[in-house]
Amino acid sequence: MFRFVIAAAAIALSTVPVLANGHGGGDAPPPPKPEATTTPARAVLTKQGSKLVDLKGMTLYFYERDTSGKTSSCNGKCAESWIPLAAPEDAKPIGDFTPITRNDGSKMWAFRYRPLYTSVADKAPGEANGNATTLQWRVARPED
């Protein structure tokens, strides 16, 4: 009987590396880092219909002169009133959002290749005061 216990223990100890997939039973390697999947903006429903807002809830706008899909036409003084929706230097496309490079080398987000901006006329989330300042600026809508 004693020999049986010794033999069973030896078999059990020899199968531990097999059960550990040959890793010696140590800690598993960390999982790979996931790619960024959070979009830089979201759609909200208002009395005037759906619109895009940044992650702080501020209304986003399109500039009618942004037609190339690759650059922003709002630079210098324009960008002081219409703040580009900044993207990190290493930003990658996420769904309908793509990063574009501005004249100064910084990155900003575009929605369906149309650069996105906030307006300094909007003081609180949900306001859309920038839409009335000129006909060249439009509230960004997810259906656009």
Question: Where along the chain do its domains lie?
Answer: 42-139
Q: What is the DSSP string of 58-127?
A: -B-EEETT--SSSS-S--TTHHHHEEE-EE-TT---BTTEEEEE-TTS-EEEEETTEE-EEETT--STT-
CA distance 2 to 14: 19
CA dist list (Å): 93 to 7, 61, 97, 113, 115: 60, 19, 6, 10, 13
pLDDT at 120: 95
Taking the model in full, what pTM does it have? 0.72
For the chain, 144 residues long, give each residue's pLDDT as a single digit of tens: 444 444 444 455 555 544 445 455 556 666 655 455 589 999 999 888 999 999 999 999 999 999 888 899 999 999 999 999 999 999 999 999 999 999 999 999 999 999 999 999 999 999 998 876 567 899 999 987
One-letter amino acid at 37 equals: T
